[in-house]
Amino acid sequence: MNFIAFLIIGALAGWIAGNIMKGRGFGLLGNIVVGIVGAF
């Protein structure tokens, strides 16, 4: 269960970072993946 929460938090962080960086991200899915990878 902790792993799922970990992925959700990483995805949320990537999404928020993508919104803050407007136009400098990798698209919605890319930002989520980057957030998940960054969470590791």
- Give the tens place of pLDDT for each residue, 1-40: 787 888 788 888 877 877 787 766 677 777 777 777 877 7
pLDDT value at residue 35: 75
* pLDDT reported for residue 24: 63
Q: Where are the domains of the chain?
A: 2-39
Handedness of CA 13, 29, 27, 33 (dihedral sign): positive
Element (H or E) spanning 10, and its range? helix 2-21
Question: For residues 2-40, b (16+ Cβ closer than 10 Å) or e, as one string?
Answer: eeeeeeeebbebbbebbeeeeeebeeeeebbebbbeeee
In the numeric block, which tokens belong to residue 6? 């970990």
